[in-house]
Structures are given as C-alpha cells and as structure tokens.
Amino acid sequence: MTTLITNIKQLLQVRENHIEKVSGKEMADLPLIENAFLLLQDNLISNFGSMENLPKINPDKTIDATGKIVFPAWCDSHTHIVYAGNRVQEFVDRINGLSYEEIFNRGGGILNSAKKLNETPEEILYQESKLRLEEVMQQGSGAVEIKSGYGLTVESELKMLRVIKKLKENFPVAIKATFLGAHAFPSEYKENHAAYLDLIINEMLPKIAQENLADYIDAFLETGYFSIEETEKILEAGKKYGLPAKIHVNQFTAINGIEACVKHEALSVDHLEIVTDEDIEILKNSMTMPVALPSCSYFISIPYTPARKMLEAGLPLALASDFNPGTTPSGNMNFVVATACIKMKMTPEEAFNAATINGAYAMGISETHGSITKGKRANIIISKPVTSFYQLPYQFGTDLIDNVIIEGKIIR
C-alpha cells in the first residue's frame, strides 16, 4: 500500500541522515521543505522531496495537503496513561488551598490512585486506559511511553504492566513500558523503607523480568519519596535485568539526584522544574536526555523547567506530557508544545525538535521514530490549512490537526 501526500506547504523535521537527538543551538534549526511531497510505503516513509522532483508513481492513495503542514507524529516519552478512576476531588481541594504535598501527606495523591487501582479488575483498567490511548492518538501521538507505579503491590504492579503489554499488542503506536514500583512508599512501609525496597527488588523485578513486561525502570527521586541512596539501589537492581533508567527527579527540590542518575547512565531525567547550575554541569557530556513536562507545571502551578538556561548551556531537551491523574490529566502534546513556547520561551523550532526526535531518543526509539527520514515509521500528522507551523503553538487550544497516520494507516 502506497500513500502519496502532495502539495505540502511545509514538510517539517526532514532529516536526510539519521540523527539520534539534537542539542543546544542545533535545536533552533528545524529542517523543512516548502511545497513538498511525502511517500509512504506500507508502514514506512519511502521518499520525500520538493514537488518539482515528484517522481512518476501510481500510488494506491493520494492526499492533497495544499496549505497544510506535515510533520512526524509526537513522541511522548513520559506518561502514566494506565490508571483507575480520577482525582477530581483533589483538583478541587487544591483550588480551595491545599497543596499537592498536603494532599499526599493526608494519604491522597499517588496512594489514592493506588487504592483505586488495587480495587479495579484488570479488564476494566484496560478499558479505561485504552480510551486514553485512543484519545492521545487522535491528538497526534505516534509513540508513547507508559509507566506502572499506581500498583505498589506485586500483584497490582504486574496488573498495570500486563495492561501496558495488552495495549502494545492491540495498538499500532510504539509503546515502551517502564516499571515504576518506586513511585511512593505504601503507608504500611512508611516506617520500613528497606522492606519495600526488598519487595521491589526481590519480588516485583524478578517476576516482571520473567514475563518480559518492562523496557525501563523509574523511581520518584524526591524529598519525601525516594532518597538518592534508595534510588541507586533500584537502578542497580534494574541494571541486572537489563532495564535502563528513566527517572522522576528535581520536580519539587534539587537534592543532587541528577548526579546519581547520570552516574547510572539514565536514558532520561524527567521533570526538572528545579535545576541548579551544578545539575546542568553534570548533564553536559552525558548521554542522558533531560525531559520537561510543562503541562504538569501548568496544572499544579509549579515552576517551568528552565529551558533557555539549559539550551544555552548546550544541553538537549525533550518535551513529554506526563499524562497522569494527579499532576497532569491531559496527554495532549499539542498543548505541551504550545505551553513550552508560551511559558518556557522555547521557539517553535526548538519545541518541535523536543517533542519529536528528542522525545524518540528519551524512549530509545530514535532509530525508527521522530523525524521524516527514509525507512522510519510512517507516523505522520497533517495539519489543517495554516499560514506556517508557527500557527500551531500560537493558536493554542484550537485543534489544528486534520489527519493522523500511524504505521501508514490513516487513523484520523
């Protein structure tokens, strides 16, 4: 099956040669072709170029993209799409003055979601999660990382990861699974952290590895959650099972956690709302991708990741949604990109790079996703007619997507 997209006003993120990520000043450059064509063969990108060089072909399907922008589907490298119910009441409690921390200390927050998830049968959890995945696909996400971490018992962590596995099997989007048993200490382990670490390392991990349920390992390295020392134990255990790390760190406090993550060769460090100069120095010359989650900053009113400072220091940056019931009940990457431009002062070029190729890197798939490159997956967004791609983040909140193609199939 060949699909030819013609008369594309701007074809974005065109990379002739494979690149794995873009950093610092390079992020200001988003290579594009004006008045372009794009040819998809089955689930792969097979050719592209200027309309003047359109080869004589007889495609099975032609899409006329006059006035429209075409670019790689979003690569959302950080989500918690699998959860039960919602935390609407906590949302209202916060409006009425309670802080995220106060809600957690009262047994709400992550533990509230864990309680709900424990009571939810696997099939219902799958049905609830599936709706969210379908929603983000409609919003243009073509690759999604999904974490466990609302189970916090052996059985429920496995339940979450099995749901992620089923989503992988049933949906065309690329999905990576991350084990986040170290999301919070369950109340019965509040005074006995060692016992919960033992449960994660000696009970959960072996079973997860045996069923091959995870690609990555994560921990919430934060004051009041997992210490550096505790996180390092988890990372070392993960390494034994071949699970690289993607870590929640520096969301509320900077406690030198990034140093430990880089030392353990984490693939990504995520959140980074609070970043010190030392953290930036440590991230330089590392292979670790910093990941910002602006929708989380927006929703719970915490600082935004200091993108300008990081890019000026030469660092790469990825953008992801953090879709979860507590801090970010939205997986809309269009909003993420717009918010990065509006609130973090990233240029549209930088934000598109961060949400495509760098997002792909942060989930270990930049070989196959995140750019318009021959041989990469045919995961494509076609916009509505617009003046330029700048209009997408500018007109935040307006749905400017016409079509979404995933693995060569038009899903919207």
* Residue ranges in contact with ligand NIG by CB under 6 A: 109-110, 113, 220, 248, 251, 296, 322, 324-327
> Binding residue per annotation — 326?
yes
Find the shortest distance in angstroms from Cβ 246 to ligand NIG. 11
* Annotated binding residue 87: yes
CA distance 132 to 82: 8
Question: Binds 231, which of ligand NIG, Fe ion, none (CB < 5 to 8 A, cut-off by type)?
Answer: none
| Residue number with CB closer to Fe ion (273 or 322) | 322
324 annotated ligand binder: yes
326 binds, among ligand NIG, Fe ion, none (CB under 5 to 8 A by kind): ligand NIG
Is 327 marked as a binding-site residue? yes
Question: Tokens at residue 22, please?
Answer: 């873009």
Pairing state between β 141-147 and 74-76: parallel
Which amino acid appears at position 86 of this protein? N
Task: Give the closest residue to 359 by CA, choosing from 150, 140, 70.
Answer: 140
Q: How far is the CB of 223 from ligand NIG (least distance, A)?
A: 12
**152 CB-contact burial (10 Å; exposed 0-12 / middle 13-18 / buried 19+):** buried
Q: Are strands 174-182 and 32-41 parallel, antiparallel or unpaired?
A: unpaired
- Nearest-approach distance from CB 299 to ligand NIG, in angstroms: 9
Residue 13 or 113 with smaller CB distance to ligand NIG: 113
Closest CA to 78 of 307, 289, 320, 387: 320
CB of 65 to Fe ion, least distance (A): 35
Q: Quick one: 143 or 401, whose CB is closer to Fe ion?
A: 143
**What is the C-alpha to C-alpha distance for residues 353 and 72, in angstroms, rounded to an integer?**
10
- Could you give the CA distance from residue 15 to residue 12 in angstroms, rounded to a whole number? 9
408 is in an annotated binding site: no
Q: Given 3-state DSSP classes, what are the helix, strand and coil percentages for the chain, each rounded to the nearest 5?
A: 40, 25, 40
Burial of 343 (0-12, 13-18, 19+ CB in 10 A): middle
Nearer to ligand NIG, 224 or 242 (CB): 224
In the list 322, 349, 350, 407, the residue contacting Fe ion (rule: CB under 5 A) is: 322
Is 271 labeled as ligand-binding? no
Helix (H, G, I), strand (E, B) or coil at 328: strand
User: Angle 48-46-391 (CA atoms, 0-180°, nearest 5)?
Assistant: 45
Please state the closest distance from residue 273 (CB atom) to ligand NIG, in A: 10
Report the residue number, 32 or 110, with the smaller CB distance to ligand NIG. Answer: 110
Query: What is the C-alpha separation between 257 and 213, in angstroms, rounded?
Result: 26
Q: Is there a binding annotation on residue 76?
A: no
Query: Binding of Fe ion at residue 145 (CB under 5 A)?
Result: no
Q: Which is nearer to ligand NIG, 72 or 325 (CB)?
A: 325
Strands, E, within 60-173: which ranges?
61-64, 69-72, 74-76, 141-147
3-state SS, 188-201, equals HHCCCHHHHHHHHH
Output the smallest distance, CB 190 to ligand NIG, in A. Answer: 17
- CB of 327 vs ligand NIG, minimal distance in Å: 4
Q: Is 60 assigned to a binding site?
A: no
| CB count in 10 Å sphere of residue 9 | 20
Nearer of residues 249 and 372 to Fe ion, judged by Cβ: 249
Residue 264 annotated in ligand binding: no
Give the CB-nearest residue to ligand NIG: 326
* Residue 251: contacted member of ligand NIG, Fe ion, none (CB under 5 to 8 Å, by partner type): ligand NIG
Residue 296 in contact with residue 6, Cβ under 8 Å?
no
Q: Give whichever of 66 and 253 is closer to ligand NIG, judged by the CB atom.
A: 253
Query: Least distance from C-beta 170 to ligand NIG, angstroms?
Result: 25
* Residue 113, binding choice from Fe ion, ligand NIG, none, Cβ under 5 to 8 Å by partner class: ligand NIG
| CA atoms of 13 and 309, how far apart (whole Å) | 24
Going by the annotation, the residues of the binding site are 78, 80, 87, 150, 183, 248, 251, 322, 324, 326-327
Residues that bind Fe ion (CB under 5 A): 322
Binding site, annotated residues for N-formimidoyl-L-glutamate: 150, 324, 326
